[in-house]
Amino acid sequence: MSIEQEIPTQSDIERLPLDIERIHELSEVLLPVFEQIEQGQQIEDETLNAKLVELINILQELHPADVADVLESLPPKERALVWHLVSPEEDGEVLLEVSDAVRETLIESMNKDELLAAVDDLDADELVELAGDLPHQVVYEALQTRDPDERAKIQAAMSYEDDQVGAIMDFEFISIRADVACEVVLRYLRRFDNLPDHTDKIFVVDQYDVLQGVLPIRKLLVADPEELVADVMATDVVRFRPEENVEEAAQAFERYDLITAPVINADKKLIGRITIDEMVDVIREETEADMLNMAGLQEEEDLFAPVWDSVKNRWMWLAINLCTAFIASRVIGAFEGSIEKIVALAALMPIVAGIGGNSGNQTITMIVRAMAMGQLSGLQAGRLLKKEIGVALVNGLVWGTVMGVVSWMLYGNIGIGLVMVAAMTLNLLLAATVGVLIPVLMDKAGRDPALGSSVLITAVTDSGGFLIFLGLATLFLI
């Protein structure tokens, strides 16, 4: 970042929960005088004034990422108060750290001049990250303050989709030629006040900026000063194209323990780099998106979003769930006569449906995770299905037998026990089959494999479990 921040110490990290709790208390107390604070008026109440000073001091000591956590944990009115008190020099960095939903509300509360001041000190790649959420006029005016070369880089990065490497690449890097000595490189590095963040390697290019290799800093420090860069550099380099998917890049970072990696264009010219901090953000965001999608949430939601916004985000899968629950109720209704004759069926059927849903969720979670990590292909899906069916068969027979014995002891009817064994085994087999097929088919259809998967698997195992259990009971016990 262009504005250097102190790295939080261990004591700062341990104190953070207490600071957040105190900020909550102070913001709630100061809320009645927010209008005076916003207008810069003096607060006459000495107690409130002391609390205001305390709140400002706490915020000044926090890292921008911690300020972002505070803002996300506050209701809208208290959030507006705290945001007003955050140091203007940190506004841009805080906006980079907060969630997309909260960032939107903060930007809406700022005028054009405040937004321009917030992004003025941001690096080019950071401005690109915020550009999609900023008003077009603000982005236009912010670009006019940059030099032509930087402006061209920003506009090029903004042309890429959010899920492409080009959208998150960093333009700050150090490059050298292969035909210079290591001592020359060290003298060159000493000319910088600071090296770009996460500089673990120097990129080696030719006269046309075509990437030749990389010179790791650790090798440079121990190399013979007279040795040429060409003799020390590594030529086997993990590199990326700006059109590549960021999730695949993140997997490569995890697989090869990368800190930085070069980004090259079609002519193999070095145009930027991607860094580990961006990859950690990608992994976190993808994990959060999968969690939300599995629960049927369409997008990230502000914890304190207006009721109507939350309703719009959640209604679709709730409606689907309502439909599937109605189908399950109709399945039960079709066997009312059987339930009337053997009341024990009403007590036992939720067990069959419940264990099927749990097993299905285990399978589907594992499949979605494998897909996210690129471990599952179409050919492997068939083998995995056979394996999951085998697991379900063993679990069904083992736990079905356990519940069969329990049911026999409770109701004194060995037929009910045998039906429990068969129903639980069949429902677990159904859960395993559907748990593999749902994400695979979603992926083939071009949809997120995690989207609503938890809702769908529960719907299938509920209706299927009721149908299997009540159907077997009707067929063999009545």
**pLDDT given for residue 9 in this prediction:** 58
Q: 0.85 exceeded by the pTM? A: no
pLDDT at residue 131, rounded to an integer: 93
How, if at all, do strands 201-205 and 175-176 pair?
parallel
* Whole-number Å distance between alpha carbons of 434 and 443: 14
DSSP 45-89: -HHHHHHHHHHHHHHHHS-HHHHHHHHHTS-HHHHHHHHHHS-GG
Q: Which residues, at least 6 apart from 239, have a Cβ–Cβ distance to it below 8 Å?
A: 211, 261, 262, 263, 264
pLDDT, position 320 = 83
Give the chain's mean pLDDT. Answer: 89
Q: How confident is the model at residue 394 (pLDDT cuts 50, 70, 90)?
A: very high
- Which stretches of 276-389 are assigned E, i.e. beta strand? none
Q: What's residue 439's pLDDT? A: 87
The tens digit of pLDDT for each residue in 32-87 reads 999 898 888 888 889 999 999 999 999 999 999 999 999 999 999 999 999 999 99
Gap between the Cα atoms of 14 and 119, Å rounded: 30
Q: Per-residue pLDDT averaged across 365-377, rounded?
A: 76
Backbone angles phi, psi at 136, to 5 degrees: -60, -40
- Collapse the DSSP code of 425 into the 3-class scheme (helix H, G, I; strand E, B; otherwise coil) and give the result: helix
Task: State the fold for domain 307-477.
Answer: Tetracycline Repressor; domain 2 (1.10.357)
CA 302 to chain centre: 14
Candidates 62, 61, 5; CA nearest to 197 is 5
Residues 6+ apart with CB under 8 A from 385: 432, 433, 436, 437
Residues near 180 by Cβ (< 8 Å), separated by ≥ 6? Answer: 228, 229
In which band, very low, low, confident or very high, does the pLDDT at 3 lie, cut at 50, 70 and 90? very low
Amino acid at 276: I
| Among candidate residues 329, 365, 334, 364, the one with its CA nearest the CA of residue 350 | 329
pLDDT value of position 303 = 74
Task: List the one residue out of 278, 287, 406, 308 whose CA is nearest residue 352.
Answer: 406
Q: Of all helices (H) and strands (E), which one includes residue 176?
A: strand 175-176
Residue 238 contacts residue 213 (beta carbons within 8 Å): no
Token pair of 292 as six digits: 């939300």
Range picked from 8-22, 301-315, 382-396 for highest mean pLDDT: 382-396
pLDDT the model gives residue 200: 96
pLDDT category at 341 given cuts 50, 70, 90 is confident
- 380 compared with 282, residue with greater pLDDT: 282
Residue 450 has pLDDT above 80, yes or no: no
Region 118-130 average pLDDT: 91
Domain residue spans in the chain? Answer: 2-164, 175-276, 307-477
Q: What is the mean pLDDT of residues 355-377?
A: 83
pLDDT classification of 405: cutoffs 50, 70, 90: very high
Chain CA centroid to CA 377, Å: 23
Across the range 368-372, mean pLDDT stands at 78
**CATH of the domain spanning 2-164:** 1.25.60.10
With bands split at pLDDT 50, 70 and 90, how would you rate the model's confidence at 2? very low
Q: Quote the tokens at residue 253.
A: 């970072």
Q: In the prediction, which pLDDT does 380 show? A: 77
Rounded CA gap, 186 and 215, in Å? 12
- pLDDT bin (cut points 50, 70, 90) of residue 7 is low
Q: Which helix (H) or strand (E) holds 22?
A: helix 10-30
Instruction: Check pLDDT > 50 for residue 4.
Output: no
Distance between CA atoms of 190 and 170, rounded to whole angstroms?
A: 22
Residue 348 banded pLDDT, cuts 50, 70, 90: very high
Q: Mean of the pLDDT values across residues 458-463?
A: 92
Q: State whether residue 211 is helix, strand or coil.
A: strand
Please check whether residue 319 is in contact with residue 431, taking contact to mean a CB–CB distance below 8 angstroms: no
Tens of pLDDT, residue by residue over 232-251, are 999 999 999 999 999 899 98
Helix (H) or strand (E) holding 206: none
**pLDDT for the residue numbered 451:** 73
Q: Are 369 and 458 in contact, with CB atoms under 8 Å apart?
A: no
Q: What is the pLDDT of residues 409-432, one digit of tens each?
A: 999 999 999 999 999 999 999 999
The one-letter code for the residue type at 22 is R
Q: What pLDDT does 306 receive? A: 78
Exposed / middle / buried, residue 274 (Cβ in 10 Å: 0-12, 13-18, 19+): buried
Assigned architecture for domain 175-276:
Roll (3.10)
What's the confidence (pLDDT) of residue 399?
A: 95
Report which of residues 277 and 451 the model is more confident about.
277
Residue 284 exposed, middle or buried by CB count within 10 Å (0-12, 13-18, 19+):
exposed
Domain 2-164 shares a fold with domain 307-477? no
